[in-house]
Structure 1
Amino acid sequence: MSLGVWLVGGRGSVAVTSIVGALALRAGLAAPTGCVTELPELRNDALPGLGDLVFGGHDPSAVPLAKKAEALADAGVVPASLVAAVHAELAAVDADIRPLPHAATQAATAGLIVADLVEFRERHHLDRVVVINVASTEPVPGDDPAHASLALLEAALQQDRPVLPSSALHAYAALRAGCPYVDFTPSTGARLPALAELAERQRLPYAGRDGKTGETLLKSVLAPMFAQRHLDVRTWSGFNLLGGGDGANLADPAANSAKSASKQRVLQETLGGQPQGTVRIEYVEDIGNFKTAWDLVTFAGFLGTRMRLEFTWHGCDSALAAPLVLDLARLTAAAHAAGRSGPLTELAFFFKDPLGDVPHGLADQWRLLVDFAAGLAPEAAAGSPGAVAGSPGAVAGSPGAAAGSPGAAAGSPGAAAGSPGAAAGKPETSAEKPEAAA
């Protein structure tokens, strides 16, 4: 299966690390460390090959991918030797990371995004394109009556006012273009009733949200341990320091609040209540693309004996997130090929704030993921009702299409992996920041 991976925030640290990593894997220059889809429990013929991924995206930044990759190498995020080895391939991908479109209304802007996605799919002869949001965290938007249904939303998008936050506008355009959507950030994305309705109408899957790479990953292991040992967790406080573009973005109180809320959900769900304590996030420019989390847990054991646990996590956001981005692209594409639509709740393993009523303990999420992947295998999916393998899911010219949208055309097989694409030449906008919120 030839698969396009369209990254919203395509020149940010997570996106560029993902692209460099995929190019290095294709060339046999690196091992797939961190890619869980390469584990024996998940690997099967339904997943697109890591060498079959073709990258594109949107970003307001004009910094060339190679220059960004060199900066990441200088910061110790990726090996400089790999950046040098894939320099020509990065230049080829660069033309497919386009400026963010902007038009007079959000309907017209969505139409331009749809046009970019359809052109990318057709020019590279891709079977599918999965859109993944790795842009910076947005503040939580206010309620809008237009979010309640697709009919209300599409009428409101014609108005001269912002109806959807940028992540949700990209989700809307992706679904209109026949592309599954994944939100790797805590932003709104496809989590609106109107967009759930659109996904079902287009028979498209979506997943999210907020990639689980550090402190929350540890919480999803430790909190079930406390619960299963019947220990009384009294307080759980976390202090996070991070730099880079994501850290700078989270210096904004509204974005910080959205991120902190996402990080706390695992405790409520696994412990049956929220212990005293909060999560704090602070920007420290000097630590760059790395992050440090320090957590203090106090708990009571038999006869009320008080005890405590402290842990420190020091990790590299982009290096932890990038292989998960590749995993999610492969799994979501395979789910689409198998006829899945709506929320992919079985991908909870990857997210801090997953969709649906799912377990939040990592071990339980792993079992869900293994069963999910097994169900995507060709022998399991062959008899699946309603399968639409090979179809991008777009309904060209269907009612309610975004203004200016040409409709999505079905892609033809046979990827031209790594081939250069033409720059869109559309005006830049500051609606998205390029750094990822891992």
Structure 2
Amino acid sequence: MADGKTGVWLIGARGGVATTVAVGLAALRRGDAPAYGLVTETAALAGVDLPAWDQIVLGGHEVRGGTLVESARELEKGRVIPVGAAERYADELAAVDASIRPGVLVRSGRAIETFADAEHVAACATPREAVQKVATDLRAFRAAHDLKRVVMVLVASTEPPVDEASLPTEIEALDALLDDPLSDSPLGDDAARCPLRASSLYALGAVEAGAALVNFTPSRGANCQAIEKIFFRAGLPHCGADGKTGETLLKSTLAPMFAARHLHVDSWVGHNLLGNRDGAVLADLDHKKAKVQSKEQLLASLLGEAPQSHVSIESIDSLGDWKTAWDHVHFRGFLGVPMTLQFTWQGCDSALAAPLVIDLVRLMDLALRRQEKGAIGALAAFFKSPLGAAPRGFVEETQTLIEWATR
């Protein structure tokens, strides 16, 4: 068993995924639920030294008001967690709430700002102040709970993409940008020259406080050459990006089948329907771009050539946390005979994501104890856009994960 306690700092700490993580850990501690969906509980990883459920302590940043119990009640209504869970685990949720602090909101995008409550947003005059605020909160969390290690997890809504050319490649260039004044907006939605959004400032705050980072979102986070160098210099691990929970999981499983059988894929079209706050955020075209980019890039690498492809994401309020993906694959076999594969994936977004977040926390705790640094490409099986590794088929990625964890 891992020594001491591990802190988990959730960015978006009262969102659907974070709330499901909090309820799920409480249920696992009491033995109320099976460990379905947890890769770290499979036989292949049974011998790996990982934190136990009662060694994991939760806290985080949030830009919305309310409480975790209220968020849990909302999830109950949407059939995401069992009815009665909010009351059954009210004490555990209140303990997590006590460790949630106002978040930073720097160039996070219009849709995210719409959900934010100004009194729950930390006032920051510069990006550097935002980084220092994050680091200060993380250090206080570590001290308050006597934590051995801390892992930050980005599970907030998707930010708009950042132009790659605008990102600094060297640490010195990045440092020079951090003192640029933010706008007069109480939400800090603009910056004079610094291109970094909140997710990247959170990543820098994690480094400053000696924490590992998991980016479960399509947002930029540590995916910047200068920030990657900072993680490496600090001797800290990070991983991401964009958790692979549904349609892309199926793509990464099915596409290698077509390649292995030498079946030519002419086109692969996917339509995605999603409610909840993520759906509302992704209804904004600026925010949607980052998610679509993450979902689209996989096929060419797995098939050996890029088929005609289209990915759509639509917000449907009535679906709540239940997402539906419908895919149409047009392919040709022997003698050029055209054929089709169609599939429908319907799943609960937070219930699919939460166990993977817990898995990644346990595995990044392992990486911290091994003193690994930089992007951990061996965790690619969890992500649509893996850092530190090229996307591969799901089976191959899973084997790499097992080999890394059990070595």
Is TM (by shorter chain) over 0.5?
A: yes
Q: Which residue of 2 aligns with 1:396?
A: none
The reply on whether 1:73 has 2:76 as its aligned counterpart is: yes
Q: Offset of 1:317 from its aligned partner?
A: 0.3
Q: Offset of 1:99 from its aligned partner?
A: 1.0
**Code of the aligned partner of 2:357:** V
Judging changes above 3 Å, is the alpha-carbon distance between structure 1 residues 233 and 152 closer, same or farther for their aligned structure 2 residues?
A: same
Q: Which residue of 1 aligns with 2:29?
A: 26
**Code of the aligned partner of 1:5:** V
Q: Secondary structure at the match of 2:270?
A: strand
Contact 1:132–1:181, Cα closer than 8 Å, also in 2: yes
Which is further off, 84-93 or 292-301? 84-93
Q: Secondary structure at the match of 2:172?
A: helix
Q: Offset of 1:102 from its aligned partner?
A: 2.7
**Code of the aligned partner of 2:19:** V
Which of the residues 251, 257, 264 maps onto 1:219?
A: 251
Which of the residues 168, 171, 174 maps onto 1:147?
A: 168
Which of the residues 119, 122, 126 maps onto 2:147?
A: 126
Q: Deviations over 1:100-142 (max 9, x none)?
A: 1331111112111100000000110000110000001111123
Aligned equivalents of 1:357 and 1:37: distance in 2? 21
- Structure 1 residue runs without a partner (length 5+): 376-438
**Code of the aligned partner of 2:181:** D
Asked which structure has the greater RCO (Cα within 8 Å, sep 6+), the reply is 1
The reply on whether 1:175 has 2:193 as its aligned counterpart is: no
Contact 2:48–2:405, Cα closer than 8 Å, also in 1: no
The reply on whether 1:354 has 2:386 as its aligned counterpart is: yes
Aligned equivalents of 2:47 and 2:220: distance in 1? 32
Q: Which residue of 1 aligns with 2:224?
A: 192
The reply on whether 1:342 has 2:363 as its aligned counterpart is: no
The reply on whether 1:321 has 2:342 as its aligned counterpart is: no
Q: Which residue of 2 aligns with 1:53?
A: 56
How many corresponding residue pairs? 375
Q: Which residue of 1 aligns with 2:118?
A: none
Q: Offset of 1:169 from its aligned partner?
A: 0.5
Aligned equivalents of 1:214 and 1:187: distance in 2? 18
Aligned equivalents of 1:298 and 1:90: distance in 2? 47
Q: Offset of 1:349 from its aligned partner?
A: 0.5
Which is further off, 359-368 or 230-239? 359-368
Q: Secondary structure at the match of 1:131?
A: strand
Q: Which residue of 2 aligns with 1:399?
A: none
Q: Deviations over 1:118-170 (max 9, x none)?
A: 00001100001100000011111235656221111112101214321110000
Aligned equivalents of 2:155 and 2:391: distance in 1? 24
The reply on whether 1:207 has 2:239 as its aligned counterpart is: yes
Contact 1:3–1:48, Cα closer than 8 Å, also in 2: yes
Q: Offset of 1:81 from its aligned partner?
A: 2.9
Contact 1:146–1:156, Cα closer than 8 Å, also in 2: no
- Structure 2 residue runs without a partner (length 5+): 104-121, 183-190
Aligned equivalents of 2:353 and 2:396: distance in 1? 21
**Code of the aligned partner of 2:375:** P
Q: Offset of 1:358 from its aligned partner?
A: 3.0
Q: Secondary structure at the match of 1:54?
A: strand
Aligned equivalents of 2:405 and 2:156: distance in 1? 27
Q: Which residue of 2 aligns with 1:425?
A: none
**When the two structures are superposed, what TM-score results if normalisation uses the length of structure 1?**
0.84
RMSD: 1.2
Contact 1:47–1:330, Cα closer than 8 Å, also in 2: yes
Aligned equivalents of 1:292 and 1:108: distance in 2? 40
Aligned equivalents of 2:237 and 2:359: distance in 1? 15
Determine what percentage of the aligned residue pairs are the same residue: 46
Aligned equivalents of 2:46 and 2:354: distance in 1? 18
Q: Secondary structure at the match of 2:146?
A: coil
Q: Which residue of 1 aligns with 2:109?
A: none
Q: Offset of 1:45 from its aligned partner?
A: 4.6
**Code of the aligned partner of 1:237:** V
Q: Which residue of 2 aligns with 1:331?
A: 363
Aligned equivalents of 1:368 and 1:45: distance in 2? 15
Q: Deviations over 1:353-378 (max 9, x none)?
A: 11133342000001100001102xxx
Once the two structures are superposed, the pairs formed by residues 7-406 of structure 1 within 5 Å of their partners are 7-100=10-103, 101-143=122-164, 147-161=168-182, 162=191, 163=194, 164-375=196-407
Bigger fraction of residues in helix: 2
Q: Which residue of 2 aligns with 1:381?
A: none
**Code of the aligned partner of 1:364:** E
